[in-house]
Structure 1
């Protein structure tokens, strides 16, 4: 096997000495050359959606091709992106240059690659940023990097950036209904968002609907051990009566360990509230026994999608309630339907398909309610959940049938690899307001 070399979660090793040090325990041989590699760059990963490119990772072959925006702002800025699947972007004179895929900023090697990439792009494009744009999350390494820069800063909420990235791609300048569905994004209320419906433009957003909040047991650990989210949902619905349910998922759990997790949730210990759609997919995958532990990001949801029967047209039903002028999307009926179908010995493929269909129909129902309220008819779809082909195609088709104009990604990924473009677009539109102040927030 011959491959580019990197350890899991680390950037590609592209210098001979570095490769010999970092990879000596996993590689038998190294193929070198007398011509050194100048800069690391991953392969791009693309799919085709409705006859057009649909990027999952934008790097070799596409970077550093600039993206043209319709904004008149001539000054320059740096957008540092998010935490997962990081890219950064430099913008000047109506162009945004989005970097190659950097990776997850979770270790020193990737942080160094991020910093080296910024220096390299600033050098070759001769751009000295006058403003930095970063995520709202205070502990992201990209945020910390931006906050150290001696220039004005603008903080942009994660899902607002997702929405703006689609808007920038399509040259949209009017307000849209932005559907941003993913795993994690720091919210303005300090909770973890991820099932969001926003009214958005480049100058701000209003959160109009979201998936109901649920404790995330163990915080980030619940992403790796997705059975925790399944336990959290079943405990919310059934309480201690859940142990009476005759489903394999509960039989397979270590009761003592599960009770400790639930005790921590009840006491609010390391159990932040989340509205994440990605974590709902994780929970369903675990309840069905498809995947209880994730070996890589998104594995439970990917395997859930793969298991879904293509021909199944049935769907579970979400409930809705109003709270503080927002639509709260309640998933309890969906989980109850899943459990009831499991007790009826329905196939996992049928149940998985009905869950996917429920998410698609819910998305259209919420958008239709927001259209009635606002008169807006343009929809943007972004966030890592839209890497799921059944969700992407199902949502778009139902929205089009309902008379909406639907905008999806074509130039940057729907996942967090597209965050930097959205940050840059918002920054360019708000630059006049920000310059001269020390810090701002979107």
Structure 2
């Protein structure tokens, strides 16, 4: 073939190719290589019509992948012969097309923009909305696709001549940057108190002064409002907790990188995670001498820390000169507020003022939360900076029907699938709160419209009374679609399988699912199970011996109830009542009433719950309050209290009616003896983690041998405990088994929708 011969072709690129500067990159590449044509967006794809010498076209096609913008994620390149285009190369208006799941998340401020806002001679010096093609708001401002300015919340800010010149200049880093703005034409910032705007030459300077003097401010960011105060001011932190009715739940802190190193022990890989474009909250070990207020993370050894990720945050942190609490702008248990009028009413009485701006927010996005465990970065809450990046499913899901999966009741999230790609939504909250339920339905409509998703199957949790399950059933009936009900723990394990690339044809895996509560196939409450499953079905082979949850849901809020049930079962009521130290734990509590409820089976359902086991052990060791103020409080304290190496506490393992029982009774006898001997608490907490991991891994290893598989998937909210996860992973690997561990997908209920989606898809594939 003559390399100099002129030819034309169409190149179609799919993936994350919008909002990342892909079209300007193509334009500059075409000019450099001397090819002609056009580039445009079409739905979630980029279409290139290109022509020139054959050798130049080959170089062009190779460079498209090799030199793509850093935020792009190319998943497919299709090349087809076409007519030779007219001379020259240009970017054309976006065309119509089927929308795919390819919107880039919001991206932290890039170094070039940070330098610009710090430069007194720059046009955007100290401008809080500076951005370019490599950074700035994306998903939080998108109102529709294709991703062009008229389809964003920047549509109401016409570009000034200077910004227009940058936007249209192929040599400028803001060439076709849709959120482009400057002080002359873009969003503005102001400070207000008691509903009145305060005259201010620099609202950030004045806001910083208020923060330094102990005030609490609402700060409007990218995905919603934060509540901010000085993280070194104990009185301000205590006031914030009192006003927000958040007595113990840890508060996130924002600091610049030098301050972060003074506050926490940060490894190179952790620093890289903090500096990533997603800029998540990262759980980091606190330094003993950290200059922070007490009360930020009571009883915890780690702090949730993030770096400034917008120009506004960079300027505010610099002006304050101190780390700041940056917690979600909401009332306790309610969704984060992201609209101005709602903030003024909803945060009244909590904050002393508002740092506001007039760029609308298209959708609520909480900060993502991550931590390192078992050798990798694990997402605990998927939000700003991560959503809505699509997840690649195993290759043999390519022909799957599109599925809408509705998730669970807590930490809810949606999942939409397109063949071998899945879009797991951002964190939506707990649906037992009415306001969150309303926000969930809004998000469902938003995602369905934005991504033009038309499901052929709807999936939901097996529990029929979850709000998400009821909504799924109503949608399926209204649309005449099949509804797939997926058992809670099967969904947890399937999500881990899908994320780690386990194909439908790879056979079965063993799953260890440890969490709080989930409805089982037998109608009882599960929460600590060993399963053998593929995508289509699962079979439970082992469980933690159940206890009765006296008072039902109350047992999830009051750890002493689970402790009473465990001790009565393991030691006997006479021993518990006759041991003065144990009996003291229940002084003043309605023990006779609860025991009568358990005897009669009244509002005392049996449950094999790992979460309630953690609660009970924490209560015995004095690490849990009588009533929890937030989910996971007792378990987090138990993890933080564990230190050093300790031989595992024993569990009894036996076969009972085709189901293996993992009985913690020996654990309770050992704990009682250790307490009497005054064994150090950190050793007892460590021995508990080790014992639980050893018991479940030993059962899973035997199940894997019998099932002929090498893979053991670990999921469920309890596996967010880094110590437990690492103990389990080490034991699996020592036995020659392969752990399948969630990373990008939360192990907690935030990942349920992905598991539901792949199970439903597999059930509807040949």
TM range (shorter): over 0.9
Q: Which of 18, 38, 45 matches 2:362?
A: 38
Kindly tell me: are residues 190 and 125 of structure 1, through their superposed partners in 2, closer, same or farther at Cα, counting changes over 3 Å? same
Does the residue aligned with 2:404 lie in a helix, a strand or coil?
strand
Q: Distance in 2 between matches of 1:374 and 1:93?
A: 29
| Equivalent residues of 2:548, 2:604 under 8 A apart | yes
- Per the alignment, residue 191 of structure 2 pairs with none
Equivalence for 2:663: 330
2:538 to 182, 196, 205: 205
Match of 1:117 among 408, 429, 443: 443
Other-structure match for 2:730? 397
Deviations, residues 80-138 of structure 1 (Å, cap 9, x unaligned):
00111111111122211100000111122101111111111111111122221000011
Q: Structure 1 residues 20-29 or 264-273, which shifts more?
A: 20-29
Residue 406 of structure 1 and its aligned partner are, at CA, apart by 1.0
Structure 1 residue 73 displacement after superposition = 2.6
Are 1:47 and 2:377 an aligned pair? no
- Match in the other structure for 1:165: 495
In the superposition, the TM-score normalised over structure 2's length comes to: 0.55
Please tell me whether residue 183 in structure 1 is matched to residue 516 in structure 2: yes
1:108 equivalent in structure 2:
434
How many angstroms does 1:272 deviate by? 0.6
Unpaired stretches in structure 1, ≥5 consecutive residues: 434-442
Give the Cα–Cα distance (whole angstroms) in 2 for the partners of residues 342 and 388 of structure 1.
Answer: 24
- The DSSP-based 3-state class of the residue aligned with 1:30 is strand
Partner of 1:298: 632
Secondary structure of the structure 1 residue equivalent to 2:512:
strand
Q: Deviation at 1:223?
A: 1.1
Residue 484 of structure 2 is matched in structure 1 by 154
Contact 1:73–1:429 (8 Å) recurs in 2: no
* Larger CA Rg, structure 1 vs 2: 2
TM-score, L = length of structure 1? 0.94
Match of residue 440 from structure 1: none
Tell me what 2:466 maps to. 140
3-state DSSP class of the match of 2:654? strand
Aligned runs of 1:338-357 on 2, under 5 Å? Answer: 338-357=671-690
- The answer to which of 295-304 and 42-51 deviates more is 42-51
Q: Please list the CA deviations of residues 130-178 of structure 1 after superposition, one character each: whole Å capped at 9, or x if unmatched.
A: 2210000111110011011122200000000000001101121221001
State the 1:72 CA deviation: 2.6
CA contact (8 A) 2:409 2:430 kept: yes
Q: Which runs of 4+ in 1 moved over 6 A?
A: none
1:426 and 1:45 map into 2 onto residues whose CA distance is 26
Other-structure match for 1:79: 405
Counterpart of 1:388 in structure 2 is 721
SS of equivalent to 2:666: helix
Indicate if the aligned counterparts of 1:313 and 1:357 stay in contact, CA closer than 8 A.
yes
User: Quick check: 1:246–1:343 contact (8 Å CA) kept in 2?
Assistant: no
Q: What SS does the aligned partner of 2:335 have?
A: coil
1:256 Cα deviation from its structure 2 partner: 5.7
Choose between structure 1 and 2 for higher RCO, CA contacts under 8 A separated by at least 6 residues. 1
Higher mean Cα deviation, 95-104 or 28-37?
28-37
Unaligned runs of 5+ in 2: 1-215, 217-227, 229-325
Take 2:494 and 2:614, find their aligned partners in 1: how far apart are those partners?
25
User: Cα distance, 1:424 vs. partner?
Assistant: 0.8
Secondary structure at the residue paired with 1:199?
A: strand
Q: Is the 8 A contact 2:509 2:704 kept in 1?
A: no
Aligned length: 431
Contact between 1:73 and 1:428, CA under 8 Å: does it hold in 2? Answer: no
